[in-house]
Structure formats: structure tokens, C-alpha cells
């Protein structure tokens, strides 16, 4: 493409993935000082002082601030589709807290994921997830904020209820009948883990997508970093590299997601593996993006 990718997308990164070993404020400053980034995705802060300092940096940065509530659920193993009502309420409570924290930090919404499920209680779990999501969307709507559900694998690693693209489309359609502030987040690194292609996922979920992630995955059993580990592009035995990202961009272009007036956020979800250097991994990701974008036909 002759045009810059920044014309059509706000390029971001997931702070806690990019710099898992950094002090969070050092990480935010590093990202904020890099003008390749137009957006940053942050999550829960451990204390008020750190949160306040982060808020000040983010206000200075001119970055679009996005908030990921996934760690709030994954860390303490909370399940928004828990068939135990008390468990479901605990997950809902942390998502409500996430909205307040996101608002304070300047984000206009939150993202989260569904919880684990069992075949015999799948329908009940689906109803529980609808209940949680509707309640969270009700609260977010009062603040003019959005709620995005990230689509994960259903049987490989996270084993989340939502779930392959057709099931995600069903859930999103059900949610949109009552809430227009709900949408979906899709991640290129999850497509191999749901045995789907970019074309299939994007076309299936077209009306509901609000946000994009890109990354890589290893889906060959027995290989290092197997599952939803988000290794770097070029990792041994992995599924995504420059060609797969180019295919992803082609589908986004064909399906009308290149929006210069209101660009979508497109963030890296790439994590250093073991003792890899976080800054080298960030540079790796930028190189793959730049190459794939350069190969995309106008």
C-alpha cells in the first residue's frame, strides 16, 4: 500500500504482553515515546499511586487508551459464564470495576473473554454469559462506553465458551438485539487455534467487529509454545508470519475495514518467550507489519 497503515488503523500494543517483566510505568513510557504507536492497551493497576501516574502519562501521550479486562478474569480464574450464580456475580463485579478504572484512565470501553465451559452445561453457560454481558453493557452505556468480547479458542488452551466464529456471531447477534454498545474483538493469533482462516472469521463476524489484534500461535501438539501463548512471528513451528498477516490485511480491505475517518484499533498481541528481549520482539512485529503492508496491493 502506498498509504501509511496509520491512515486506516490506530496501531497499538498490549502493554502487559509486550513488557511482561518491565515496571508498568516504564513500559507505558517506552510505548508512549514510540511514535509507531497510536494506541495502548492497559489493564488493572495494583495501587492508586501507580494508576494516577499512568493516567498523567497517558494524558500527555495522545495515545488512544484501550482497556483489557482479560487479566482480571484469567488471574483469579473468574468465569462470566459460571453456572454457579455466585461465581458469575464475582466475574460481573470485576468487569464493573474494570469499566470504572477504564473510564478514569481515559478509555472508552473494555474488552473481556468468556470463561471455560462443559458440554453438558453449555446452554446454561451461554445464558449465564448473556446475563453477565447485558448487565455489564447496561453499566457501560450509562458512561457512553463500549464492551467488546474477545473471541478465543474453545478446545485448545483457554477453552472459552466463545468460541468458534459462528458461535461468536450467534452470541453477538443475541447481544445486539438489546445492546448497541456491544461488539467483538478478533485476534489473528487465535484463528489457527479455532481451526479457521482470516477470510472465514472476518466474513462471519463482519457486522460485530469493533477491534483487532494480530499475533502468532503454535498449534502443532508437542511443540514448544503450543496453544495460546502469542509467540513472536517466525517462532519455530508457528502458524502465522508475513504471508498470513498479508492475507489478513487483504480480507480487512475487501470487507471495508480500512476507515480513514474512524480508524479501528489494531494491536500487537505478541509476547517474549522465556528469556527473549521484549524490545527486539516489538521490533520484530513492526518489521512483519511493515513488510506485509508493503506487499498489499492498492
Q: What is the pLDDT of residues 19-38, one digit of tens each?
A: 999 999 999 999 999 999 99
- Please check whether residue 57 lies inside any domain of the structure: no
Q: Is the peptide bond before 198 cis (omega within 30 degrees of 0)?
A: no
| Residues near 22 by beta carbon (within 8 Å), at least 6 away in sequence | 30, 278
Q: Which domain holds residue 87?
A: 69-276+285-295
Q: Where are the beta strands (DSSP E) in the chain?
A: 9-14, 39-42, 64-68, 109-113, 146-150, 182-187, 209-214, 264-268
- How far, in Å, CA of 43 to CA of 67, rounded? 6
The average pLDDT across 4-12 equals 98
- Please check whether residue 251 lies inside any domain of the structure: yes
Number of domains in the chain: 1
- Please check whether residue 35 lies inside any domain of the structure: no
Q: Are strands 109-113 and 209-214 parallel, antiparallel or unpaired?
A: unpaired
| Cβ neighbour number for residue 179 with a 10 Å cutoff | 18
- Please check whether residue 3 lies inside any domain of the structure: no
What is residue 269's predicted lDDT score, i.e. its pLDDT? 96
pLDDT tens digits, one per residue of 85-107 = 999 999 999 999 999 999 999 99
- How far, in Å, CA of 160 to CA of 146, rounded? 21
pLDDT tens digits, one per residue of 105-124 = 999 999 999 999 999 999 99
What is residue 30's predicted lDDT score, i.e. its pLDDT? 98
CATH of the domain at 204: 3.20.20.150
- Please check whether residue 17 lies inside any domain of the structure: no
What is residue 52's predicted lDDT score, i.e. its pLDDT? 98
What is residue 292's predicted lDDT score, i.e. its pLDDT? 98
- Please check whether residue 19 lies inside any domain of the structure: no
Q: Where are the beta strands (DSSP E) in 16-131?
A: 39-42, 64-68, 109-113
- Please check whether residue 147 lies inside any domain of the structure: yes
Report the mean per-residue pLDDT for the chain: 98
What is residue 233's predicted lDDT score, i.e. its pLDDT? 98
The average pLDDT across 252-279 equals 97
- Please check whether residue 186 lies inside any domain of the structure: yes
The average pLDDT across 204-208 equals 98
> Quick one: pLDDT band at residue 69, thresholds 50, 70, 90?
very high
- How far, in Å, CA of 282 to CA of 297, rounded? 25
Judge whether 195 and 233 are in contact, CB under 8 Å. no
What is residue 42's predicted lDDT score, i.e. its pLDDT? 98
Amino acid at each position: 500500500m502506498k498509504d501509511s497503515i496509520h491512515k486506516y488503523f490506530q496501531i497499538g500494543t498490549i502493554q502487559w504482553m509486550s513488557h511482561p517483566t518491565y515496571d508498568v510505568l516504564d513500559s507505558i513510557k517506552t510505548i508512549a515515546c514510540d511514535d509507531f504507536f497510536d494506541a495502548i492497551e492497559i489493564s488493572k493497576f495494583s495501587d492508586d499511586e501507580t494508576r494516577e501516574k499512568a493516567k498523567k502519562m497517558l494524558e500527555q501521550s495522545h495515545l488512544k487508551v484501550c482497556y483489557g479486562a482479560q487479566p482480571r478474569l484469567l488471574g483469579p480464574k473468574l468465569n462470566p459464564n459460571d453456572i454457579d450464580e455466585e461465581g458469575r456475580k464475582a466475574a460481573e463485579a470485576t468487569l464493573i470495576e474494570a469499566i470504572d478504572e477504564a473510564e478514569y484512565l481515559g478509555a472508552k470501553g473494555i474488552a473481556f473473554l468468556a470463561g471455560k465451559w462443559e458440554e453438558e452445561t453449555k446452554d446454561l453457560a451461554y445464558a449465564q454469559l448473556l446475563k453477565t454481558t447485558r448487565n455489564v453493557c447496561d453499566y457501560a452505556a450509562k458512561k457512553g462506553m463500549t464492551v467488546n468480547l474477545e473471541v478465543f479458542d474453545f478446545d485448545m488452551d483457554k477453552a472459552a465458551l466463545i468460541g468458534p466464529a459462528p458461535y461468536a456471531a450467534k452470541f453477538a447477534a443475541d447481544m445486539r438485539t438489546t445492546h448497541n454498545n456491544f461488539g467483538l474483538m478478533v485476534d489473528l493469533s487465535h484463528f489457527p487455534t479455532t481451526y479457521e482462516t482470516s477470510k472465514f472469521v472476518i466474513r462471519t463476524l463482519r457486522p460485530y467487529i469493533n477491534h483487532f489484534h494480530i499475533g502468532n500461535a503454535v498449534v502443532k501438539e508437542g511443540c514448544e509454545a503450543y496453544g495460546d501463548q502469542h509467540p513472536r512471528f517466525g517462532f519455530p513451528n508457528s502458524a502465522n508470519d508475513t504471508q498470513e498477516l498479508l492475507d489478513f490485511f487483504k480480507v480487512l480491505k475487501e470487507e471495508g475495514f480500512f476507515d480513514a475517518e474512524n480508524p479501528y484499533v489494531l494491536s500487537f498481541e505478541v509476547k517474549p518467550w522465556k528469556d527473549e528481549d521484549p524490545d527486539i520482539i516489538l521490533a520484530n512485529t513492526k518489521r512483519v507489519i511493515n513488510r506485509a503492508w508493503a506487499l498489499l496491493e492498492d
